[in-house]
Amino acid sequence: MILHTVNKSPFEKNSLERCIESAKDGAAILLIEDGVYGALNNTAYSDMAQNAMKTVKIYALAPDVQARGVGDRVLDGVELVDYNGFVDLAESHSKVQAWL
């Protein structure tokens, strides 16, 4: 199974949208850098992420969430991971696909 990473804001690029469309059931999506804006509740893209979580697991890199001051806005169901968690995810998946 693939670990997808997304490092662009969904408001600026369609990376997260394309990633979700291309992810198989059971895949993992890790939001990093400006990608973490895709993990927020009450935004124009919250529904997209919420729906995706019916079939894929979404993670967000905690240091990037905290840097941007959005820790209190993360969607229910999104799991926060630290850098070690990032490494574990990379290690436990067969491939990493980076959506830039």
Partner 1 sequence: MTDEMYDEEGGPVKKFLYLNRKAPYGTIYALESLEVVLIGAAFEQDVSLLFMDDGIFQLKKGQDTKGIGMKNFSPTYRALEMYDVEKLYVDKKSMDERGLSADDLVVPVEILDAAQVADLMEDQDVILSF
Strand order in the sheet with 28-31: 79-81, 57-61, 28-31, 2-6, 95-99
Per-residue contact string for residues 12-51; x = within reach of partner 1 by CB under 8 A: x--------------------xx--x--xxxxx-x-----
Residue 42 beta carbon to partner 1: minimum distance, rounded to whole angstroms = 3
Contacting partner 1 within 57-86 (CB under 8 A)? 62-64, 66-73, 82
Q: Which contacts of 78-82 are long-range, i.e. CB under 8 A and separated by 24 or more positions? A: 78/31, 78/39, 78/49, 78/53, 81/30
Residue 13 beta carbon to partner 1: minimum distance, rounded to whole angstroms = 10
Distance CA 86, CA 72 (A): 21
Q: Which residues bind partner 1 (CB under 8 A)?
A: 7-9, 11-12, 33-34, 37, 40-44, 46, 62-64, 66-73, 82
